[in-house]
Every structure is written in C-alpha cells, then in structure tokens.
Structure 1
Amino acid sequence: MTDLTQTGLQDIETTPLLKVVGARADITFNRPSVHNRVHPDDIQALHVHFDQIEADPTVKILVFSGNEKSFSSGFHLGILSESDQGARDFEVLTDRLENLRPITIAKVTGPVYGGSTDLTLACDFRFGRTGVQMFMPAARLGLHYYPHGLRRWVSRLGLGPAKKLFLSSSTIGYEEMLRIGYLDEVHDADRLGPAVDAFVQRLLAQAPTVQQRMKQVLNQVARQEYDEVYAREGFVRSLQSADLKEGLQAWGEKRKPQFQGA
C-alpha cells in the first residue's frame, strides 16, 4: 500500500493517510478545506487501513490526528438526506475502531464535531490541545444519533455529560472536555506531539498480549457484555506466559523487561 506521506502527495486532499513506522501506525484525516469531514470513501479507506494494521502483529499503537486546524467535523451531513446507509456505515466503523487490537490514541489538534466526537471517543485515549472545542449538533439537526454511539457516550462519560451534550447541542471547551473525561490530557500546541509520543513509548513498554486482551475485557465490561470465560482465559494464560516470567525477573533485577508477546 502506498504511503502518501512519503510521496509528497499529502498536500492534495485525500482519504485518510496511513503511515506505519515500527510498532506505531498513524492515521491522519486529510480534507482540511472541509475541516476533515468524513465522506463515504473515507470510511472505506479507513477499513482498508484497519485491515492492514490488524494483519501486522508488529503494530501495537494507532494514533489518529487531523491535517491542519481541525481534527474532524464529523460525517458528511449531506449524505444523511439521501439514505441512512452512510450513518450505519459510520456506526460500524466506530465500533470496529473501539475493538481494534492495537491501543488507540486520538491526538485532538483542533475542533471535533458531530460523528467524529464519537469516533474520537471510540479510541482508548484522547490527548487534546489547549483551546480545542467539541460540539454534538444531533438534536439541533433533528437527528436521532445511532444507538451504539449513544451507548458508548454513556458507558465512557456517564449519563449526565451525555445528556447535556446530546440534548442541548452545547459547545464545550477543552477544560470541560478534560473535566468530564472526554480528554485524558491537555497540552499546549508545542507540547501535544511530544506528550503523545512519550505516552506511546510508555504503552510500548508494557506486555502487549495481556495489554491488548485487558483492553477488550474492559470494553466488554463498559458495554455490559462481560465474558467471564474470555477474561478468565486471559488471566490463566498470563500465569503460564514467558512474558510474566520475564516481567517478574526484570522487576527483581531492576531493569526494563524485554517482552516478546508470549
């Protein structure tokens, strides 16, 4: 697959760009003239990117960001008047993002609106720039939001914040986004990238197999879909793993562990 960021074509507005370096993948929305609005072909491209990432076991982390001033202005609203298929496709995309094997981070470099507020929420972690805002206009538009998005908002942020944002179409700033848990960390523009990079390195220092499995169990608990057998199996396997042996030995020797994912 061509990496557009390496060909000089990143100045042309395109479907989202994928760049993979070692254990880290980056996906960048690349329609700055429409605030990185998500079009139907963007959804298809993201599924292709997800396929590539899932097929590469060396990729442990995925970072989302937006080209230029906006993170993303959400799904193309003009499509909604034609068919509900676009919204259904977007719902499938956000659910898939939530369940991806790698740990996912949204680097919110600019405003995030509409459906992309849920796409961001589907990531495991969200780092934002001071000054960013978010806006969920569904009620103002007369749109009943897709069901899995509503479930995700309540399970991750709680009923109160979800009601405020969905039922009043309020715009909130980065301080409230941090307070309600929408953002995990906030940094000035020049510190946001380094903060994300440092957190990526912290994540990569963990045992990947148990890290990825615990992510899935925690998501199941949040969705009230807890699978005792799946969770118990992960626990038992870890007790017999080479990574646990290495982790305990490294702890005793006061050194960094060298995990192999086994």
Structure 2
Amino acid sequence: MTTDSPRGLPPQLDIDGAIATITLRRPDVANRLELSDLEQLRQQLAEVDAAPGVLVLRLRGTGRHFCSGFNIGEVGGSEAGARFEALAAALEAARPVTIAILNGGVYGGATDLALACDFRLGAPGCEMFVPAARLGLLFYRGGLERYVSRLGLGMAKRVLLAADKLDAQQMLDCGFLDKLLPDSAALEAEAGRLGGELAGMAPLALLGMKKHLNRIAAGQLDAGDIARDIALADASEDLAEGAQAWRERRAPRFHGR
C-alpha cells in the first residue's frame, strides 16, 4: 500500500548499498502504525532479509517523534496485538544489524520495536511512555520478555506497571539508549558513522555473531549451527583479507565469502 491517507503515508524502504533505511511517515499522528503498516513493515523486513548485500538496517521516524505505537482506535477485534508481536519478532530476527534512530517520543509498542533493534541512538528530545495498564491492554509475551531481558525486571515494572515516563537521560541510564547525542544533528551524524562502521565489517562474522548473540540471550543457541558458521568464517577469504589488512595497516576489503 503506497497511497496517501489523512493520517499520512505508509512506511518507506530505501536501500543504499549495504545500508537500508525504513522511515515511518505519519508525523501528524506521531508516526503511529496502522494495521496496514504492520503488514507493510513485515514485507519490507522480508525484502531486506532477502538482499544479501544489506548489512545494516536503520529504523527512523519523520517529524518530532519516533513512533507512538499502534493506533489505539484499532485495538480490539483485529488481532492487532498478535500482528504487532510478529512484527517485533521479525525485527529482532532481522538478518542485518539494526539501528533505531530515536529523534523524539517513543510510546507504547514502539518502545518494544526499539528494544528489538540491536542499537538505539537518541537525542535530548527523547522520552518513552507505555500506557498499556491505563488502557486495559496486557502487553504481549515477546514484548514482556524483551523488557525484562534488556532492562531488568525492576525497570520493566516501572515502565509497564507504573507507567513511568522516562526522559532521554533516564533512557540512557537504564540501558534503553546505547548512546545519547547532544542534538539532532549529532544524532544523524552518529547514525551515519555507526551504520558506516557496521557496513564495513566482515559480513560472515558480523551477521553470524548477531544471530548467535540473540540466540544466546534467548536461551536458544544451536550448537551445530554456530559450529557451522564458525567453520565457514574460519575458511573464508574475508578472514584472510582481514589478517592481511591488519598486517599492512590498511582498511580491509570484505566480500562476504
């Protein structure tokens, strides 16, 4: 779906070499997600996963906010919770390394989309708030698990049960943000720098470690699969190139093989 609506435009995917960017484009409603957006985002994630040259995926919002989660008016009778959970799970399992660029408010289920990313960068205007308990909404299992595993049980209870609103510094202090930049220009610069650094890594090592780190965190490590990935990386041309570049004190040129 790519047509205009009174609530803005659906998410847009752009791929530039090794870096893909998904942009949420409903700034007038704090980039809230409609039911159709959930399916489009999953299709975009599938497209990125199927593009072997993409090593980094950035998720961002337009305007003053990152995202306000799912359209509350659509909750109930639409299996929205299950669809949102499936989207967050797909984002966490995405093949590329993911970066959430948090340019403003992060509300409701959008907090879990950010937690599903590998890195979260923010600016001073960031804040997060989850009103689920005030709305009678029981957060889905995957989101509860991410909150506890990423932020700890105490902070999960503060945000989800007490509905505490956290400002940018508190988001950094509790570990929600990996880095807090001084302003929006610095946020953009850091997002570009980190994306470029990641895109320059050896693909077999970078993506393999991302996959297995997430599996370890979830208690789902597959011993055979990690052994195969290690063997593949050990026998790769990239490892030889990396060692040669280190000796020659130059930037390596990786090809993912």
TM-score grouping bracket, smaller chain normalisation? over 0.9
Tell me which of 138, 143, 165 is aligned to 1:144.
138
Give 2:49's aligned residue: 54
SS at match of 1:27: strand
Mapping of residues 1-262 of structure 1, within 5 Å: 13-83=8-78, 85-187=79-181, 188-262=183-257
* Cα deviation 1:166-185 (Å, max 9, x = unaligned): 11000001111111111111
Deviation at 1:82, TM superposition (A): 2.9
Deviation at 1:51, TM superposition (A): 2.2
CA contact (8 A) 2:61 2:67 kept: yes
Q: Give the superposed CA RMSD.
A: 1.8
- The residue type equivalent to 1:239 in the other structure is D
Larger mean CA deviation between 164-173 and 221-230 belongs to 221-230
Deviation at 1:228, TM superposition (A): 1.7
Q: Give distance in 2, aligned partners of 1:75 and 1:13.
A: 14
- The residue type equivalent to 2:27 in the other structure is P
Deviation at 1:236, TM superposition (A): 2.0
Deviation at 1:71, TM superposition (A): 0.5
- The residue type equivalent to 1:162 in the other structure is A
CA contact (8 A) 1:156 1:222 kept: no
Q: Give distance in 1, aligned partners of 2:221 and 2:51.
A: 27
* Cα deviation 1:143-199 (Å, max 9, x = unaligned): 111001111111122222112111100000111111111111111112110111011
Q: Give distance in 1, aligned partners of 2:108 and 2:145.
A: 16
Change (3 A) 1:61 1:81: same
SS at match of 2:57: strand
Deviation at 1:216, TM superposition (A): 0.9
Q: Give distance in 1, aligned partners of 2:112 and 2:225.
A: 27
- The residue type equivalent to 2:138 in the other structure is H
- The residue type equivalent to 1:216 in the other structure is K
Q: Give distance in 1, aligned partners of 2:32 and 2:206.
A: 32
Q: Structure 1: give runs of 5+ residues left out of the alignment.
A: none
CA contact (8 A) 2:19 2:199 kept: no
Identity, in percent, stands at 41
Change (3 A) 1:12 1:80: closer
- The residue type equivalent to 2:218 in the other structure is R
Q: Give distance in 2, aligned partners of 1:59 and 1:130.
A: 30
SS at match of 1:15: strand
Deviation at 1:12, TM superposition (A): 8.5
Q: Give distance in 2, aligned partners of 1:144 and 1:162.
A: 13
CA contact (8 A) 1:152 1:223 kept: no
Deviation at 1:136, TM superposition (A): 1.1
CA contact (8 A) 2:69 2:107 kept: yes
- The residue type equivalent to 1:105 in the other structure is I
Q: TM-score, normalised by structure 1?
A: 0.93
